[in-house]
Structure 1
Amino acid sequence: MMTIEAGRAYKIPFDTTGVYVDEHGVKRYQRLPESLTTMFRASVEAHPDVEAIVEVGGPRYTYRQLWERAATVAGGLRARGVQRGDRVANLLPAGANWVIAFLATQLAGAIVVPVNTRFAPPEIEYVLSDSGVAFTFWPGEPLPEGTALVVDDAKPTDVAAIFYTSGTTGFPKGALTTHENFLSTIETSIRVFGLGRSEGPKLRNLISVPLFHVTGCNAQLLVQLAVGGTTVVLPEFDVQAFLSTIVTEHVNVIVSVPAIFALALVQGNFADYDVSGVSFIGYGGAPISPLLVERLKAGFPNARVGNGFGLTETASIATFLPHDWAAEHADSVGFAAPVVDLALADQDPTTGVGELLVRGPNVVAGYWNKPEATESAFVDGWLHTGDLARIDDEGLVYIVDRAKDVINRGGENVYSVEVENALAGAPGVADAAVVAVPDEVMGEKVGAVVVPSTADFDVAGLIAYLRPLLADFKVPQYISVRTQPLPRNPGGKLLKRQLREQTTWGEALR
C-alpha cells in the first residue's frame, strides 16, 4: 500500500516574496505574465535595441529584430495552414533560426514540439506522427514568411509546447507544457540563480547544451528573454570554441552539464582565457564530484556556482543547491524551489528513502495522447518522478537511485529497457542487460552485458547493428560478454545490482 509523507515546512534559502497557496494547496507566483508572448513583448518594448540572440559564427538579433522576424515567420505558418492549437515540430539545429521558429510558433498561437535531433530516424518519425504535427521546421529549408502575425490572448493554462521524453517502453512521451509551466520555471530560475532583474540587459548567457532540452530552452533561453538579457548559442560543441566564446562574447552566465565543465578545466591552455567576467555557473543533469565543484570555483574565481535538478515533466528546475552549499553537499541536488512542494512515497522507515514526488505550477499538465501514463505519473496533483530520494533535516534532497533504471550520460537520459529491447533483436544475442558504468567525465556511460548465442560473437557487428536503431548517445560504450546466464529472481526479473557487482568492464569502445 502506498503511503506519502508530505514535505515538511523546511526553510529554503530562496526569495519567496509574492508566493501564495491556491485553493488546491499549490504554491504559485503572483503577477506572472499571461503567456510567453506577453512576456516576450514586454522585453521587446523595454529593451528594443539590446542584443537578444547571438549565434556563434552566425546572425545576431536585437529584441526588436527578433520580434519582427518571429512575427513574419508566424505569418508564414498561418499561410501554410497552421491554426491555433496545431502542433509545429522544430527539428532545426541550435542557433538563431531555432529560436525564431520556437517564438514564431508561440506568436501564431500554435504548440511547438521541440524534437531531439539526436533521436534515431524511427524515434523522430514516432514523435512527428504521435504529435500530429501540422508543420515541421526542417534543417536546410528556409523559414516560411508571411504577413506579420501576433496572437497574444493565450491563457496561462493553455499548452504552449510538447517536449518528448523517452519512456521505459521505448516510446517517447510528450509532456504537455503550459504557459504557466514555462513562466514559473523562468521566475524560479531568476530567484535561485540570483540574477538581478535590473541587471538583465547586462546578462550574457552561453548555451552549450541542446535547445530541445528543457535545460537549454526553459532555464536559459527563456530566462534571458524574460529579463532582457543576451543568449549566445554555440551551434556545435567544441571545447576551444566554448572557452573562446566566453571571452569574445563577454559571457557572464553559463549553465551546462558537469562533463562540459570538466573538459574545459583540463584544457592545457585554460589559463590563457580570461574567464574572470563569469559571475554565475549552473550545472546539473548528471552527478558531480566535490573535487570538480572546487575546481570550478577555482577556475572561475568570480562565479557563484549551483546545482539544479529537474525533469521534462517539471519544466526544468524542481530543486536547486546554492553556492554556499555546493561543495560541502555536492552529492545533493539542493532545496525545493520557491513554489515546489516535495513528498516521498513508500518511504523506507529505516533509510528514509522513498520515491520523490513533486507538486507545483511547473509540473506539466500530463502526457499527450497517453491517458494511462498520465494517470500513473500524475496522482492527486503530485508528479511521481520514479527517482528514489531522501530528504535530510535541513531540506536537502539526495537522489539515491533511479527506479526507472535511467542512465544519465553527461546529461542525456538513456533508459536501459529501450536499449535492451534493441539488443534483444540483434543477431547472435541470446540475452542482454543494460546498466550504467561510472565515468569520471560523463557521470555515467551505457554498458551492456551480453550472453551470446554463437561462439563467433562479434562485438563490432553488434554495435553496427544498433547504430541505425538508437540515437548515438544510447549505443553502449561498454560491452561485457559472459557465458553464464544473467542473474534473475524466481519471477524472471533481472537482478541488476548483482549484475553490476559481477561485471568487470574493459576499455570503452569510444
Structure 2
Amino acid sequence: MMGRTEHSVPDPIAGLHQAWGSPDSWNLLNAWRTRVEEDADRPFLAESSVDDFVTYGQAWQHIRDLAGVLTALGVSSGDRVVILGKTNAMTVWAWFAVNLVGATEVTVNASYRGAPLVHAVNLPRAEVAIVAPEMLTRFVEHEEDFTAVRRVVVLGDVDVPEPTETRSYLRPGEVEAAQPSTVVPHFTDPASILYTSGTSGPAKGVVMPHGQTYVMARQTIELLSLTAEDTFYCFHSLAHATKFTAVASTLVAGGRIVLDPVFEPDAWAERVVATEATATVAHGPMLEMVLRAREESGASPAAAALGRLRVVLTAGASADLAKDAERLLGLRCVEAFGMTEAYLITRPENERERVPAGSCGRPNSALFEVRLVDPETDDEVGIGEIGEITVRPLHPGTMMREYIHMPERTIESWRNLRFHTGDLARMDESGWVYFVDRVSDRIRRKAENISSYEIERAALEYPLVQEAAAVGVPAGPGLDDEIKLCLVTSGPLDYEAMIEHLVRLLPHYMVPRYIDVVAELPRSVTNKVQKARLRVADLSTAWDRTAVGVSVREIADRLGVR
C-alpha cells in the first residue's frame, strides 16, 4: 500500500516451511535428539575455559537424569518449575530437563533479591523449584514469602535446610528417578516464562511457546550465519531471551558455546580471545561499557585484536556507537529489533547485508505483519512519520501466548488485535526501520529493562520516605540511561544510607545514580505522577553518588550481597 508503513513479501510462510520443515518439528527437544543421534561426541558447552567441554551426549544425559527426578516428583505437562541459577551448565540442564517432562521452565534472574525475587517466584504459582547451591542462601532468606513452592530440588552436594510443614528440600540423589516422558510437546505448548519490564507495576511473565523458542534459534542462525564450526560466547543471564539466541542457536546449529557467569567490561576482549569465540551478543549499553573501559585503560586507538570473533548481534546500539565498535574493536555489528514477546521484529537479511546507519533492519516479513501506528489512536502512520511498532504473527506458536496471570496486561498489549511493543520508530521508503524512543516509563540500563515500580517499592521501605518516583534520564547520545530517584521525605535524608538500603534490596543495575528530594511530586488532574516532567528536570539539585565517590560494588562487597 503506497505511502504506508506495512512491509511484507509474497507468501512468506511457504518459504519458511521449506527452509525449516514442518512446524510440528519446531521444538528444541527435537534438536537435542538430532544432536545426540548425529553428534553425541561433539563438544557442546564449557564454563569459562575451552579446555573442559561437555559433549552433546554428556549434556543430554545430565538433562535426562534431572528430568527423571522431576518425573518422580510428579512434574508433568501443564506444570511450571522455577529455576534459580547463574549462567552455568547446571541452569542449562535444569531448563531442558523441565521441558523434557512437558513442563514450563521459569528461570529467574540470579541478581534478584527482595520484592523482585518474591514476585518472580510467586507469579507462576509453581510448586517445584530448582535451586543452584550458590543461590540456596538467598532462597532460604525469603522462603516465608514464597506462597506456592512446596518442594525445592537443590543441585550440588551441599547441606539443605530441614523440611517445614509446607516445604521440603532435597538433593537429586535422594530421589529414586523415574523414566522421563518421551512425548514431544506441540509447538504451540508453553515452553518458557521469562520476565520482562514492569513499567507501571511488577515485572510481567512472558509465556513463550516451544515454536517461538525454536524460531528464535533459527532466526539467529540465519542472521549471524552460524554453523557447527562456530563458538558462541555468552555472558548474559539465562533468565534473558539471550539464552535462545546463544544456547538454543548453538544447539540447533551443532556448534559450541562458552558460558561466563559475569560481564567484566575491562576483561571482555581478553575473554573473547581466550574462549576462541566467533560470535556473541552484546547489547548497545554493554558495547558502550567495553569502549569506555578501553578508553580508561589508555589502550591504543587502533582496532583491538579479538581473535576469531567475526560477528556480534547488537540491540540498542546507536549508529555512532556501532561505528566506534567497528573502528576501535574491529567488530562486525549486526543491529536488529526484537523483544521477549516477539523476537526479531526487524532485522537485516543476514550479517553480510549492509544496513543504513542507525537502522535496526527491515520488518521481518517471514514471521510478522509489522505496522507503525499512532500510539493514541492506532491509526497507521505514513512513511517517515514516527509511530509505535505493532505486530501480528503470520504463524501460530511464533510469539508469546500471554502474560502469565496478568490477563489485563495481555489484553492491553493486544488492543485492536495487534501486539503493541511500546517502542517508537520510523520507516523510510525502502522499508528500513529506525528506532526512535520508548512509549512507556521503562528505564534501559546495562542491557536491562528496569521497572521503575520495583525501585520505588524498595525506596518506600526506607524510614522517612513518603513518596517515590524513579525515572531514566539520558546520559548523552548513544549512552545508557541513568536512574534518578525523586523522593518526598518527612525529614532530612542520609543519602549514603539510602543507597546502602537499596543495594540490599535491588540488583546493582537498579540502584539509582541521582537522588532528588523534593517538596512534592508533580501530578496530573487525575493524580498520576507526571514522570515526563521529572525526566527533564534540572539535575543541579540532585545528589549524585558518582560525583561523591559512592560505589555500589564496594557497598555490595561490604554487605556480602553481590
TM-score (norm 1): 0.85
Q: Give the 3 Å change call, closer, same or farther, for CA 289–356 of structure 1 in structure 2.
A: closer
* 1:354 is the counterpart of 2:383: no
Deviations 1:313-334 (A, max 9, x none): 12x432225667778522x332
Q: Which of 114, 119, 123 is the aligned partner of 1:121? A: 114
* 1:319 is the counterpart of 2:316: no
Contact 2:209 2:399 in 1 (8 A): no
**SS of the residue 2:246 aligns to:** helix
Distance in 2, Cα, partners of 1:227 & 1:349: 39
Deviates more, 1:260-269 or 1:169-178: 260-269
Q: Which of 110, 131, 144 is the aligned partner of 1:138? A: 131
Distance in 1, Cα, partners of 2:451 & 2:4: 28
Give the CA deviation at 1:70.
0.8
* 1:410 is the counterpart of 2:446: yes
Q: Give the 3 Å change call, closer, same or farther, for CA 492–39 of structure 1 in structure 2.
A: same
Distance in 2, Cα, partners of 1:325 & 1:406: 31
Distance in 2, Cα, partners of 1:412 & 1:272: 28
Contact 1:390 1:399 in 2 (8 A): yes
Hey, what does 2:16 align to over in structure 1? 19
Hey, what does 1:488 align to over in structure 2? 523
Identity percentage over the alignment? 27
- The correspondence of residues 83-98 of structure 1 with structure 2, limited to 5 A, is 83-98=76-91
Give the CA deviation at 1:153.
2.4
Q: Give the 3 Å change call, closer, same or farther, for CA 391–420 of structure 1 in structure 2.
A: farther
Contact 1:366 1:378 in 2 (8 A): no
Hey, what does 1:344 align to over in structure 2? 372
**SS of the residue 2:117 aligns to:** helix
**SS of the residue 1:393 aligns to:** coil
Give the letter aligned to residue 155 of structure 2.
Answer: P
Deviations 1:366-424 (A, max 9, x none): 12222222222234652122223322222222333322210000211112244334444
Hey, what does 1:212 align to over in structure 2? 239
* 1:8 is the counterpart of 2:41: no
Give the letter aligned to residue 244 of structure 1.
Answer: E
Root mean square deviation of aligned Cα: 3.1
* 1:55 is the counterpart of 2:47: yes
Hey, what does 1:231 align to over in structure 2? 257
Deviates more, 1:65-74 or 1:53-62: 53-62
Contact 2:45 2:257 in 1 (8 A): yes
Hey, what does 1:366 align to over in structure 2? 402
Give the letter aligned to residue 357 of structure 2.
Answer: H
* 1:46 is the counterpart of 2:38: yes
Deviates more, 1:154-163 or 1:36-45: 36-45
Contact 1:101 1:137 in 2 (8 A): yes
Consecutive unaligned residues of structure 1, counting only runs of 5 or more, are 22-27
Give the CA deviation at 1:114.
0.8
Contact 2:195 2:206 in 1 (8 A): yes
* 1:307 is the counterpart of 2:342: no
Deviations 1:239-260 (A, max 9, x none): 4553333223211001122333
Deviations 1:115-162 (A, max 9, x none): 112222332222222212232121213262635635342111111111
Give the letter aligned to residue 363 of structure 1.
Answer: M
Give the letter aligned to residue 130 of structure 2.
Answer: F
Hey, what does 1:24 align to over in structure 2? none
Consecutive unaligned residues of structure 2, counting only runs of 5 or more, are 134-153, 157-171, 552-562
Contact 2:115 2:454 in 1 (8 A): no
Q: Give the 3 Å change call, closer, same or farther, for CA 157–275 of structure 1 in structure 2.
A: same
* 1:189 is the counterpart of 2:181: no
Contact 2:199 2:450 in 1 (8 A): no
Give the letter aligned to residue 463 of structure 2.
Answer: P
Distance in 1, Cα, partners of 2:460 & 2:513: 17
Give the letter aligned to residue 386 of structure 1.
Answer: G
Give the letter aligned to residue 504 of structure 1.
Answer: L
Distance in 2, Cα, partners of 1:501 & 1:261: 26
Hey, what does 1:25 align to over in structure 2? none
Distance in 2, Cα, partners of 1:246 & 1:349: 43
**SS of the residue 2:186 aligns to:** coil
* Bigger share in strand: 1
Deviates more, 1:374-383 or 1:343-352: 343-352
Give the letter aligned to residue 317 of structure 2.
Answer: I
Hey, what does 2:422 align to over in structure 1? 386
Distance in 2, Cα, partners of 1:281 & 1:149: 37
Q: Give the 3 Å change call, closer, same or farther, for CA 148–243 of structure 1 in structure 2.
A: farther
Give the letter aligned to residue 298 of structure 1.
Answer: R
